[in-house]
Structure 1
Amino acid sequence: MKNMWHKMVEKNTVKITIAVFLSVSFYTIFHMVDESSLLLITLTNAIFGIRPKTVDTWIFFRYRLLGTTIGCILGSLYLVVSVHITQLKVINVILIPLFACLTVVFSGGEKAPTTVRGAVMTLISMILLVAPDNDKNYVFHRIMATFLGLLISILVNWVIAPKKEHLVEELKESIDEE
């Protein structure tokens, strides 16, 4: 029982709980509860953005937002192309892997695994879950939902930091490493 209590008050558990609370609260306060796919995107990014150090969250933020943008652009391109194809199920065997390949190439390949994963998952979810036809702002809303989730994770990590970090210096170091 003591071990279970320790896990409940672990810093990471507290951070994730607060990130989920803030994400759900945002959508509830602004009456966007029916936007469950956007809430899911915000929650996913808020949770995955929780890192031991705030600088790691900023680095994840940068790569994940870039990946989402690339995935949304190529996902939109796929949806435009697929509208003009009559035998889509047969063509998908070629088209989906082709777009996934393009996404990996544009995302930086092996040098940027976080960007690649985010971009490919965004692409695949747009293709298989299909972006709403009547929402012309879907790509923008999806990118903003990602941004909001990542912003929440940065805020939570910064407020509940394990120790005060030299964020600017560590960010400069991460940029210099690339």
Structure 2
Amino acid sequence: MSPGLKKTLLGLSGASALTLASVIVPELEGVRYAPYYDIAGVLTVCYGHTGKDIVRGKQYTPEECLAMLNKDLQPFAQAVERAVTVPADEYQKAALITFSYNVGISAFQHSALLHELNAGRFEQACEGLKKWTWAGGKQWKGLMNRREVEYEVCRWKRNVS
């Protein structure tokens, strides 16, 4: 995790999972104002936004990208709230929001890591994030780095307490 992100997260102690995720996702996704195809061949723009509303050839503004991100994260935060049936802290939920934003709600809902979390095996659930490093049939360093950050965030309260 970058020192800047770590410092920002420390400053957000007590924030909601959605607020934490809205800070983490830009760090993990980066931003591209022009549409591009991601490593899985999906048309993408801004902070990982996908969908039929992307206009090819358009240059998006920073404000448009932030608005898309805030809108895009809502269903993922709701999915995490619905799927997690045990008391989880805001950092764990934020890690799950960023994870599900990357892999999709269905993959998250059917994942072994969610099963582990709901069984009360928090460490195994956080560790399970690290298994999701493949896209397009191959393992990616970028996904490995992303999962390491999500893992750190998932374990945050226990690490900084």
Q: Do both share a fold (TM > 0.5)?
A: no
TM-score, normalised to structure 2, is: 0.27
Question: Of Structure 1 and Structure 2, which has the larger fraction of its residues in strand?
Answer: 2
TM-score, normalised to structure 1, is: 0.25
Question: Of Structure 1 and Structure 2, which has the larger fraction of its residues in helix?
Answer: 1
Which protein, 1 or 2, shows the higher relative CO under an 8 Å CA cutoff with sep ≥ 6? 1
Task: Choose 1 or 2 for highest CA Rg.
Answer: 1
